Structure 1
Amino acid sequence: MLTVVLCLMAWPAMAVAETRTKSVREWTATCDDYSCSAQTAGTGGAGFALEVARAAGGNEVWFVTLITPEADAPAQDPVTFEIEGTLSRDSVVEGAGEGRFGIADQAAIESIFPAMRKGAVLTVRYASGGAPVMAQFSLSGLAAVLLWMDEHQGQVGNSDRVRALDVRDDIRLSAEDMAEIRNQVVNANSLALCDWAREGDDTARFEATKYDLGEGYGLVIVVCAYGAYQESTLLFLDGTEGLEPLPFPVYDHLNGWTASLLLGTVSFDGKTRELHESARFRGAGDCGTWSRYRWNEGYFKMLEYAYLACKDSDEPVGENADMPEFPIIYKAKD
């Protein structure tokens, strides 16, 4: 038997909580203090499942996940979701371990989920190892158990919000997307700061990552050079006017606070909207800076900034020497 389960993918381990269950036709729902899920059996073979779930809270969303046996995992091609007379939609899926593949296309899940609530049978088709795979799931009772879970979580009237599962925070960029970003970076007149740009028009060396900031904004991080012990990066805000270079505050004990377009190693968390930057002033790593920022309705707000000046010493810093802590010289009040 093939099973369809509605639950949250990769749910973190939590304390045991009292659970409640309700079955309606082909579906059985389970809720506790942390989340609600529902499941049903289907046809197509053992080890398959389709999951959707929502965490507890006042502003949470449903997730949809396909679970497969290892031998029947989807290939890179999109998976097709069909409901006769209502839906035929392809979507890429994102692997999340243990045979779980989340619907990773937001536009697709916004079509698939409402159709599941109203349809009779959901058919899933995809290729695995060059062979076609098909599974069918009865949707009878799904709408009823979803309503029961809405009532349990206090989400009646707010039960249609869904989100694509994407393990990656960044936006997937095609070769054409990457070329367009490179052209805009060139037009922004800051490309000369990148060391590789001085070596000719070598597009293969261009490396950029893009994140969705919401509200019509995007963050583009361009890697400029890999040094002996760190990389350097340029950051751009992608808005209605195209790419605009983003200056960030920098500090040193000689010049005080200034601004710079060229940063050290940068990482960005698309879920928390926090950006972390660090730079080492020499290979020993015993002096430099690190800083944290959070995207805040149109700009990056500085949360913390740490700085430690280099000190001349006749004794080299050994491989096993204790690295000094970088004192925090700025910390936001809220």
Structure 2
Amino acid sequence: MNLVRIAAAAALSFAALSAGAAGAAGAAGKEGVSFSHNDWELACDNTRTCRAAGYQSEGADITEPVSMLITRKAGPDTSVEIELQTGGEKPAKGPVRFKVGKATLSGLKDSAASLDQDQVRAVLPELLRNDDATLTDRGGQKWVLSLSGLNAVLLKMDEVQGRVGTPGALVRRGSKPESSVLPPVPAPVVKAVVPPKARPGDDALAARIFPSLKQSDAKDDCNNHEDFNAKSLNVTRLTDRKVLLSFGCGMGAYNYSSLLWIANDKPPYAPVAIEANGDFDEKDASVTSSMKGRGIGDCWSSETWSFDGKGFVRTAAAGDGMCRGFAGGAWSLPRYVTRVELSEPSATPSKP
């Protein structure tokens, strides 16, 4: 994959553009906001950081994909970051030229390049005024970035961050004080607990706990998986008295999921199915589920849960919704973020 990245940090002021209402201000809150229009999508996470991603038009050849990512954190007078990415079978032969409307940036290479404030002011208004932008390498190879949907997506970004009507709005600029812009929301802190080492006899727990599982429910969740038995269960110690049981089952043509339970390591085992889905990583006490939108893997969604000593708490969610030809996905667009603090397991035995 060939990358052309533009990191732009500058305060913004733009001509007023009419679109939409400001009813989504502050809506990022706990779960974040997702929105898409034509060839652009928006993901604002629970801290009110927003990321807008655009691509080549939907009907274009995905063997020559191109994407732009526009990122802005919440708060007054915050800057905007822009990244460009190209892909396809033929890598770009630098230097690369970016052109949109009356603005042209020459000499971009396959690595990070910073834009000065004059360049930022030149490029962003042109993005809002035009239908597409192009990247061209020295060999004449061209990638066409669609700008259809960009205005709507950036207006939604302004709404979520409370910028509509302020001098720093990307769309629909006004004279409201910049101090009225919504502040960032601190990311929740989750104290994750690294599990202790396995104990002698833990391997035998699967056979003992299996009869206590709701086997019909598990088979239904795994499309009546015929291999669901005690031997197919994995057991991982979570605490001095709790273990995690997992069973991997297929999901669709190319995705994979795991059913998970937390159980006591002595009778009554009382296994409880949990929402977390995926493989358990003992190093950071987390479970992550990753799903691709289609076989070539050019769009993904993921969710992570961390063990806090009692159960699994959701600590991250991300995903790009548009499948536009980038193997592995063009960008990771967080919907939910936290700050995870790892700690070693307590030496004091936990209560049942």
Does TM, scored on the shorter chain, surpass 0.5? no
User: TM-score under structure 2 normalisation?
Assistant: 0.34
Q: Point out the structure with the larger strand share.
A: 1
What TM-score does the superposition give when structure 1 sets the normalisation length?
Answer: 0.36
